[in-house]
Structure 1
């Protein structure tokens, strides 16, 4: 399908009118792009960090001097992405602050190659402190990224602008940006994710404040969010609720995190071919979750299979790519008790079953239901059941 900027805008705006949100996928390989297209993505972003992710390194490599970002993107995207994209367009991640870049010529080259538009990435918006000050003293500024969007707009290219505050969003709108995307920072989750992130609440507030300013200038601009703590469908829904946000762009969440989980767990399951527990967990992850109940059922199944091991809510949240707070809230809403209470009750009930059916020392039963020592088990048992395990057994 041959796309141009206007055709893409028409398609996206039609989706928004029918309450269907827009999805962009930052892909670092033809494989990711191909299956993102089949999954319903509306456009692909070719970003240098996506390529680095495919090399097994952090997205932060896109902000180091280990490669020429623009040439890296041009090389892999023209060879791997453009040839396999048959239904959706590819957008070029332009490192606009490259001091050796002739902006007009390079953006024209991008168009000639068949890219439908540009996105300002890598962006100095992710840099702060003394290093940011040093960059700006050498005219390596966010205004260069605004200028790139302006030139691309004049060349009838589709423009996706990453912004970090209201003033940047306003500048990008005046430059002609078709999409204002609030960049919430590096994606958390998985093995390579950034550890320091904004909370979902503060991320939502930032996005709402920025888009409020956008609406005063161009209420029809497409509004999207990217990265940070938003890394699962339920997180995205939280961002949508009560706001005018039209869509979501993701990189690691579509590419790195699923690969980390599935490859690791699949390899582990082949190593332990008769471990049915791993098979069940992997199948759940691979099939995905359709609603809140699926998340809760997975947690209950996991407890049923692993109650004898150390289990934390944080570990389960990482498996599901949800925030710990959300997992805790969802579980209590659906089950009626907290995760901790459910786990304790499950273990104690299992221990009582063993007392009735197994002739084992109580210390051994405590160990078999997940307690490191009998003292801890006895204390919890007495608090919940009113008597000690030994007294309970006698009675």
Structure 2
């Protein structure tokens, strides 16, 4: 599809009050149904392919294969022949020393791609490795230059940026979309563990979009990754940033839904009932008191997250009350402190698991939120009056 036609379609969507959606994938079935669901363009990124192999998006940055060759191979064979009348964007590794970018971008266009996106991007790399890349000449400016070349070839361009300086560089290079990359997508079994909050993501996007509005007000402004992984998260970003025009997702559209659905359907054949984390997330983002009282919120949060580390201070922040007030309210209602409640809850849960399953005690500790078995055993004995080993032996004797 021609660049002007793509931009015309995007402007028409925005004029109707819709948001722009881009879907990153490594498989034809996702591309096919993303189009059917209303996606505005499809990105072919090497990480999408690795996700289909059961690897995380981070695999796209490791020396497993040549990124450009991988994308060209699967996208040319599986995506372009299958999905028609929607822009297919090539995820270009601009620092590839085996390619002449001028010639390669012409080849990309000739093979049927509507445009390019700078991925994998060195913008996700920091520290000493980033410094070493800079010293070798493999800087973000190579990605800026690739966007410039593609723009001059009248191709549609989607630029991942990480700060205001990069946004400025990409706008000057002619990028059609400035997408604030918030880091590898959080959530799911394979998601990046170190992420920042939705509020921090909003602030970063605000700062970058401010520069966009100064330099080129009409440019399409989007976000990608980080803590933004569900429609609820995206709605939070839309509600708190009037400049945001759309969202690009990869793991959010194919990895996390697949993980959840496959895991849940498998569990459904073994156990009954399940909790939906999004129910709690809706209430947390929408305001705790609109749905139920503070104490019920804390109890429900513990019920869904007892196996993880839980910060009472964080729960107070989410509820928009002081820690001391929430603590006083909780103790008055429940009859014990938050810390006592969560320990008892975990020990009760441990008893349920021991009664139901044959399991190693070290594994049991991990399942109820304890990395250290000695600490788990100590708390178990304190609450129940006997050790986990004694309780398990008693079960074995009865059976």
**TM score, norm. by length of structure 1:** 0.74
Q: Is the 8 Å Cα contact of residues 28 and 82 (structure 2) preserved in structure 1? A: yes
**Which residue of structure 1 aligns with residue 104 of structure 2?**
106
SS of 1:258 mapped into structure 2: helix
304, 317, 324: which one aligns with 1:312: 304
Compute the displacement of 1:89 (Å).
Answer: 1.6
1:176-219 CA distances to partner (integer Å, 9 max, x unpaired)?
00000010101100011111112111111111101101111100
Write the mapping of 1:128-143 to structure 2, written as runs, cut at 5 A: 128-143=126-141
Root-mean-square deviation (Å): 3.9
268, 277, 287: which one aligns with 2:273: 277
| Separation in structure 2 between the aligned mates of residue 174 and residue 70 of structure 1, nearest angstrom | 25
Compute the displacement of 1:166 (Å).
Answer: 0.5
Q: Is the deviation greater in 47-56 or in 75-84?
A: 75-84
Write the mapping of 1:28-177 to structure 2, written as runs, cut at 5 A: 28-177=26-175
| Separation in structure 1 between the aligned mates of residue 137 and residue 121 of structure 2, nearest angstrom | 14
| Separation in structure 1 between the aligned mates of residue 2 and residue 236 of structure 2, nearest angstrom | 32
SS of 2:222 mapped into structure 1: strand
Q: Is the 8 Å Cα contact of residues 167 and 178 (structure 2) preserved in structure 1? A: yes
Q: Is the 8 Å Cα contact of residues 43 and 88 (structure 2) preserved in structure 1? A: yes
* CA pair 294-202 structure 1, distance change in 2 beyond 3 A: closer
18, 36, 41: which one aligns with 2:16: 18
**Which residue of structure 1 aligns with residue 243 of structure 2?**
244
**Which residue of structure 2 aligns with residue 320 of structure 1?**
none
**Which residue of structure 2 aligns with residue 349 of structure 1?**
none
175, 178, 192: which one aligns with 2:176: 178
| Separation in structure 1 between the aligned mates of residue 25 and residue 249 of structure 2, nearest angstrom | 9
* CA pair 239-128 structure 1, distance change in 2 beyond 3 A: same
Q: Is the 8 Å Cα contact of residues 92 and 120 (structure 2) preserved in structure 1? A: yes
| Separation in structure 2 between the aligned mates of residue 193 and residue 22 of structure 1, nearest angstrom | 24
Q: Is the 8 Å Cα contact of residues 26 and 249 (structure 1) preserved in structure 2? A: yes
195, 205, 208: which one aligns with 2:206: 208
Q: Is the 8 Å Cα contact of residues 284 and 318 (structure 2) preserved in structure 1? A: no
* CA pair 276-218 structure 1, distance change in 2 beyond 3 A: same
1:60-84 CA distances to partner (integer Å, 9 max, x unpaired)?
1111111000000011111111122
SS of 1:170 mapped into structure 2: helix
Compute the displacement of 1:13 (Å).
Answer: 1.0
Q: Is the 8 Å Cα contact of residues 208 and 243 (structure 1) preserved in structure 2? A: no
Compute the displacement of 1:268 (Å).
Answer: 2.2
Structure 2 segments unaligned to the other structure (5+ residues): 293-298, 335-347, 356-367, 369-378, 385-399
**Which residue of structure 1 aligns with residue 296 of structure 2?**
none
Q: Is the 8 Å Cα contact of residues 37 and 87 (structure 1) preserved in structure 2? A: no
SS of 1:311 mapped into structure 2: helix
Compute the displacement of 1:329 (Å).
Answer: 4.7
Compute the displacement of 1:9 (Å).
Answer: 0.6
Q: Is the 8 Å Cα contact of residues 99 and 140 (structure 1) preserved in structure 2? A: no
Compute the displacement of 1:315 (Å).
Answer: 6.7
Structure 1 segments unaligned to the other structure (5+ residues): 301-306, 318-323, 346-363, 378-395
Write the mapping of 1:214-229 to structure 2, written as runs, cut at 5 A: 214-229=212-227
| Separation in structure 2 between the aligned mates of residue 79 and residue 198 of structure 1, nearest angstrom | 37
| Separation in structure 1 between the aligned mates of residue 170 and residue 316 of structure 2, nearest angstrom | 34
Compute the displacement of 1:314 (Å).
Answer: 6.8
**TM score, norm. by length of structure 2:** 0.73
Q: Is residue 296 of structure 2 the alignment partner of residue 259 of structure 1?
A: no
**Which residue of structure 2 aligns with residue 232 of structure 1?**
230
| Separation in structure 2 between the aligned mates of residue 292 and residue 200 of structure 1, nearest angstrom | 13
1:216-239 CA distances to partner (integer Å, 9 max, x unpaired)?
110000000000111111211221
Q: What count of residue pairs does the alignment treat as equivalent?
A: 332
